[in-house]
Chains A and B, each alone.
Chain A
């Protein structure tokens, strides 16, 4: 009898084995470590003050960041969903970029703008002949919040704008003709319709703020430690692995709770890649208030989103001469190829780029293969498949640092480990990228009407040929998008990598972080130069994804077959 409808559960075996070895086993090690400590020392043996402070600050900063992001994101989403204005395309790209930017680039960008050596301080020092930088925002809560807003604004804009665009402007017009004031239209028509999107954006932003690591580490300084940073410090500085493990478990519980809420309430974990707003709902700004709103908000968004990146680029290309003037120079980039005796690595910094590219290539290939296998295996809707599908999404609810610690504990502790454990980096990156890959490939595969596959079969195509000639070509673009996405994620990954990296095989984000934390103009400049390289590669990936999104989608709607 024909078994095509039974799905292809055998395809699960490889991804499942992979998850078992590189996800569940390492997490199990974290659990075991903390548990053994518990047994030997009991509840009193822990430094509860550290735990309390970390949890408290993590929640506090995440809540504050989320609130700020949403408050700014909602008007911005409105701007995108309803208005047509000059420079919109540029702004669209500008709001898209941060989402995929590595944390180190964001940190470097704000450093270049408002840090002690940042343009703003240089400008003020020059203008008022000051000896010290007047703005000391670096290492304050404000810096953290700023970076988080920069980072997550695009999530709110894209999620909410996509939903807002889906609301027919005629609904709002109908409410107006029925006598509702603009405020009441917003209150009684628009916001209720947007609520699911806003809530899902809220939860997602909170999750990202909660698990933020690089931003806090680089912009908050030593006095601000979230759970993520505390795990890192306890592991790397104090080698207090049981405490790190406990913190990781607490972190895991929180993340699972948030992710579970997201998935459990049926909210989407996906951020629409690019809202392309239907034309009929768009209009130009009318009247003075609207013009002020459009011009003011778009200017503010550009300043917030573009200025740090411009500042970063300028810091990398301009160098201050002895006389005090600035001139264009490629010195910092040239330095990347040298390996001076005083270097913090044993290799020229540029090898970090090569390492990062190789890791990213391996990680994205692996993530794509695993994602394809899972998506194909999940193509039937049995209970087992739904359960397995959920299992694969778990890495999304695991913070990068927790995951890094887990892998470090599981594979990085033995004497011989340092020789091969950098190989764990692409594996870790692949697992981190896997949920994103799946969320791109699965819908594409599901969007293929069964009739297409059936038509191919009745025309003589075996299941294998149906896959090769029909399914694969149709999901090709989704797969390419997923690949580029995974590539960019791997390229910028910092949290997990920081546990697994070896001094002589640095990745680009690690190198930027190391150089940023060192004193000296040359180190700062080199950090900027590397961040620019990272920025360019990520921006190029994003551009590629955008082009791929212009692809066709299958117009035929899936009909019900009875």
Chain B
């Protein structure tokens, strides 16, 4: 299907995209995740043919389409701000792509009605787009992108402009619609929760490169760098020094921690960073991998508590517990060795 090969692009003198390559398979949803301003939208525009690349190729079914103009690629692109045409009605917006394909009028009407049905807005056809709410605009933009039956659908932060409550509701609707479409999708977002929800496969774009590629589970549990671990929501990091390789043991200021596989090449005496996932701690139920800590406060989060601890060296960490722990209490935490991320 879609294959991107070695794309490079500078922006304002800075290297924005450095040798980007990946492919998207038939009816696969690939989430492109990365911090804002990292070149994700630019990459989408390059794939769509709206922007030039300095080097690299875009291939479709093995054919190089780098020179095919945007309007002949039949790649749908939905913009973060939706880019609905303000001088056209809802129906006219949706019909635009069909008119460009010279579809006959009767057929256009039928497909516009179907599209409105698909996004649950059957009676909105005559409305002005400027009168729609953000969520309604989002759904119309989706209908407009889909009705032209693109070979590939690209969504640029489709939920980014909506407030949180609406985002959760529309996220479910969007997932249903995308699930019904049997086309490859590239979904761009800077929100990992969104990526987890939609992705068959995730690509992490950082510093112009693809840092890691894999299923959401793989990337969440084994992020390849401390930066990515933090980006995935792992906040607890502690420095230490390798004291044993078999088993891998790290001496930290707050105790000796054993961990599973490490990223990089650990060696005796090497400084490493440990990241402790929020769900990796229990109140002492083993005899090793212990951390002495004092409970600062427990924050209720619905399904459980995020409990903040102060460690012996004054550092703070938060772990997830099903029950609250009383503030001020001294506890001994034991950390699951296989869950610890060790970056050498």
Contact = CB atoms under 8 A, between A and B. Distances in A.
Interface of A: 1-2, 4-5, 449, 451-452, 454-463, 465, 469-470, 473-474, 552, 554-556, 559, 561-562
Contact of B77 (A455, A461, A462, A555): A455
Contacts, number: 102
B164 to A, nearest CB: 20
Most chain B beta-carbon neighbours within 10 Å: one of A4, A454, A459:
A459
A459 B93 CA distance: 10
B94 to A, nearest CB: 10
Given A459-B100, A459-B145, 18 more contacts: A2-B49, A452-B85, A454-B50, A454-B77, A457-B50, A457-B71, A458-B50, A458-B77, A458-B145, A458-B150, A459-B71, A460-B100, A461-B96, A465-B71, A554-B86, A556-B86, A559-B81, A562-B37
A458 B51 contact: no
A451 B86 contact: no
B100 A465 contact: yes
A473 B41 contact: no
Contact of B130 (A1, A454, A555): A555
A456 B96 contact: yes
A459 B100 CA distance: 7
Given A458-B70, A460-B97, A469-B96, A552 B86 contact: yes
A1 B67 contact: yes
B41 A474 contact: no
Given A5-B51, A460-B100, A451 B69 contact: no
B17 to A, nearest CB: 11
Contacts of B87: 470, 473-474, 552
A556 B137 CA distance: 12
Contacts of B77: 454-455, 458
Interface string B203-247: 000000000000000000000000000000000000000000000
A454 B45 contact: yes
Most chain B beta-carbon neighbours within 10 Å: one of A455, A463, A556:
A455
Interface string B28-39: 000000001101
A556 B100 contact: no
Interface in B143-195: 144-145, 148, 150
A125 B193 CA distance: 89
B101 interface: yes
Contacts of A459: 71, 76, 96-97, 100, 144-145, 148
B101 A460 contact: yes
Contacts of B45: 454, 561
B343 interface: no
B127 to A, nearest CB: 15
B83 interface: yes
Interface in B49-74: 49-52, 66-67, 69-74
Nearest to B16: A562
A454 B48 contact: yes
B68 to A, nearest CB: 9
A457 B150 CA distance: 13
Contacts of A556: 81, 83, 86
Given A457-B71, A474-B87, A1 B52 contact: yes
A151 to B, nearest CB: 37
B85 to A, nearest CB: 6
A456 B72 CA distance: 11
Contacts of A555: 86, 130
Contacts of B145: 458-459
B198 interface: no
A555 B81 CA distance: 11
B41 A561 contact: yes
B309 interface: no
Contacts of B48: 454, 457-458
A108 to B, nearest CB: 42
Nearest to A462: B71
